[in-house]
């Protein structure tokens, strides 16, 4: 005999089937779809979005959730699932099907326009559809509601509980501590990194990236890697989690840290409970926590000296002519070079947060209506000059470099910085609890770290809120001091500057 809870599980799994089918079409759109398929693909995605929305706001589901909400026979995990679904149901009820279809259709058109504009280095090709998309996102803010700033409604979609007021304080800490720290480093002797920009053959890079993913324990029987314009991870279930990377034959960094970063995201998705497919307990808590996984692997592990003690010899074997005269110490200092740059995805782990601040400030103004889409290139360029003293030479290297706005992902960027700060706390705790972790990294043994992440983060799905999980693991909420202490200790040794005020 079926129970209310088993009926609820069936309904959510059917909704998930539709949503993951959309994800598969979106993945194909960015990886393999021919250009002429864009118009029909937009229609297909819009149709499926409308079906998923109608299923998500079905009155029968709402009544079922109301009953389950007061069902005392449920386990704590089941109660958490129902509570999260009940909350999501009432959020989805705020949207009309027409709005959902219009938004998804505009997003599909926006991606195609962005891709063409980026290829042709011409923001004007993207501006009209981006303007339409932003107007829809403004409408979405009003649909969802907010107390103080409309951007809060966008943040809630990616980092529940995050607010402009809180993020402003956090980025003020970045400005107060990280900005002067980077200036101090800039006055020290700079390290050489020219050897990273020799010619590195594409297929050899690809093979080394596959090795790095395998070493991280990424399950290729439950995933695959492909090439895309912008590296990303997408999941259709814990048994099918795919990553993409981008290879630049004259910049070795893009492939290596693209693979490690996306691999971190994928390990999180592969670590979720497949038995709870479709339920909140098989979904990531927030994008800040998701990003903590990719940034932990990319920076705390992938840019550490211990990690490269295990892997640098293999990289030299892959590229003997380019790296035979380059010592491990020289390589380590080069991959941790701190230098303002134009491209966010290849930025060092310190100035990276200046890129995020710029996008955060721009997004707030776009959503509030104080900045016009057509003023974006000049405003972007002004911000880069102001924050990093850089002149932006082109739209491709400036306002068109990220894919996120073409997806309508406003409110997403701040989670990158949140993720780095969470990562520093989690990695500090992992080192405390895995006594020989540094030695394991030096030997290329990464399984213990992954198991620690699985036990402390991945297995819980949405059982905890992000702040709750952080307190459970670390005994405190997110604290910028963990990140700052980590980078201060690391870069004092790399740059060997005199710590004089």
Confidence class for position 108, pLDDT limits 50, 70, 90: confident
Length of the chain: 501
User: In the chain, where are the structural domains located?
Assistant: 4-145, 164-495
* Alpha carbon distances (Å) from 355 to 110, 285, 445: 22, 24, 33
Q: Is the predicted pLDDT of residue 172 greater than 70, yes or no?
A: yes
Fold of 164-495: 1.10.1370
Q: Is the predicted pLDDT of residue 500 greater than 50, yes or no?
A: no
pLDDT digits (tens, 9 = 90+) for 308-322: 999 999 999 999 999
pLDDT digits (tens, 9 = 90+) for 43-91: 899 899 889 999 999 999 999 999 999 999 999 999 999 999 999 999 9
Catalytic annotation on 262? Answer: yes
Q: Is the predicted pLDDT of residue 498 greater than 60, yes or no?
A: no
DSSP string covering 344-410, please? GGG--TTTHHHHHHHHHHHHHHHHHTSS-GGGHHHHHHHHHHHHH------STTTTTS-SGGGGT-T
Residue with tokens 């009544």: 63
Q: How far is CA 335 from the centre of its chain?
A: 21
pLDDT digits (tens, 9 = 90+) for 331-388: 999 999 999 999 998 789 999 999 999 999 999 999 999 999 999 999 999 999 998 9
pLDDT digits (tens, 9 = 90+) for 409-466: 999 999 999 999 999 999 999 999 999 999 999 999 999 999 999 999 999 999 999 9
Q: Of residues 304 and 166, which shows the higher confidence score? A: 304
| pLDDT in the model for residue 307 | 98
Of the candidates 111, 57, 115, which has an alpha carbon nearest to the alpha carbon of residue 86? 57
Q: What is the rounded average pLDDT for all residues in the chain?
A: 94
Of the candidates 405, 333, 335, 325, which has an alpha carbon nearest to the alpha carbon of residue 134? 405
User: What are 13's two structure tokens?
Assistant: 């799994």
Q: Which residue in the list 30, 159, 254, 262 is annotated as catalytic?
A: 262
Determine phi and psi for 271, rounding to 5 degrees.
-90, -5
386 Cβ neighbours under 8 A, 6+ residues apart: none
């Amino acid at each position: 005999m079926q129970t209310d809870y088993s009926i609820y599980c069936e309904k959510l799994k059917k909704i998930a089937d539709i949503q993951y089918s959309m994800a598969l079409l979106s993945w194909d759109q960015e990886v393999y779809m021919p250009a002429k398929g864009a118009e029909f693909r937009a229609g297909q995605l819009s149709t499926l979005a409308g079906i998923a929305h109608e299923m998500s706001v079905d009155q029968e589901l709402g009544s079922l959730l109301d009953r389950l909400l007061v069902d005392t026979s449920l386990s704590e995990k089941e109660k958490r699932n129902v509570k999260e679904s009940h909350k999501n149901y009432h959020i989805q009820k705020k949207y009309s099907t027409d709005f959902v279809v219009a938004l998804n259709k505009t997003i599909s058109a926006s991606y195609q326009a962005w891709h063409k504009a980026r290829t042709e280095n011409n923001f004007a090709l993207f501006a009209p559809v981006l303007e339409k998309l932003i107007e829809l996102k403004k409408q979405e803010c009003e649909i969802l509601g907010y107390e103080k700033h409309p951007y809060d409604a966008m943040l809630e979609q990616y980092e529940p509980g995050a607010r402009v007021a809180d993020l402003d304080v956090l980025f003020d800490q970045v400005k107060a501590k990280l900005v002067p720290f980077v200036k101090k480093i800039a006055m020290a002797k700079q390290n050489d990194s020219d050897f990273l920009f020799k010619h590195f053959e594409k297929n050899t890079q690809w093979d080394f990236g596959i090795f790095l993913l395998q070493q991280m324990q990424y399950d290729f029987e439950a995933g695959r890697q492909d090439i895309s314009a912008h590296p990303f991870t997408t999941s259709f279930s814990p048994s099918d989690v795919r990553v993409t990377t981008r290879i630049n034959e004259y910049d070795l960094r893009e492939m290596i840290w693209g693979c490690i970063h996306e691999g971190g995201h994928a390990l999180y998705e592969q670590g979720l409970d497949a038995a709870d497919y479709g339920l909140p307990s098989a979904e990531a808590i927030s994008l800040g926590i998701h990003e903590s996984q990719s940034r932990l692997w990319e920076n705390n592990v992938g840019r550490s000296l211990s990690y490269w003690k295990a892997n640098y010899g293999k990289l030299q074997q892959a590229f003997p002519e380019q790296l035979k005269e380059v010592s491990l110490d020289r390589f380590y200092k080069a991959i941790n070079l701190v230098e303002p740059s134009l491209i966010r995805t290849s930025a060092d782990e310190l100035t990276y947060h200046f890129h995020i601040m710029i996008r955060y400030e721009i997004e707030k103004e776009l959503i509030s209506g104080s900045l016009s889409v057509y003023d974006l290139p000049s405003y972007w360029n002004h911000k880069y000059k102001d924050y990093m003293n850089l002149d932006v030479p082109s739209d491709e290297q400036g306002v068109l470099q990220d894919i996120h706005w073409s997806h309508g992902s406003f409110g997403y960027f701040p989670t990158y910085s949140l993720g780095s700060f969470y990562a520093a706390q989690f990695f500090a705790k992992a080192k405390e609890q895995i006594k020989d972790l540094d030695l394991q990294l030096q030997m290329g043994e990464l399984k213990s770290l992954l198991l620690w992440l699985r036990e402390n983060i991945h297995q819980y799905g949405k059982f905890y809120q992000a702040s709750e999980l952080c307190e459970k693991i670390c005994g405190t909420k997110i604290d910028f001091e963990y990140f700052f202490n980590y980078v201060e200790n690391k870069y004092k040794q790399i740059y060997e500057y005199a710590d004089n005020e």
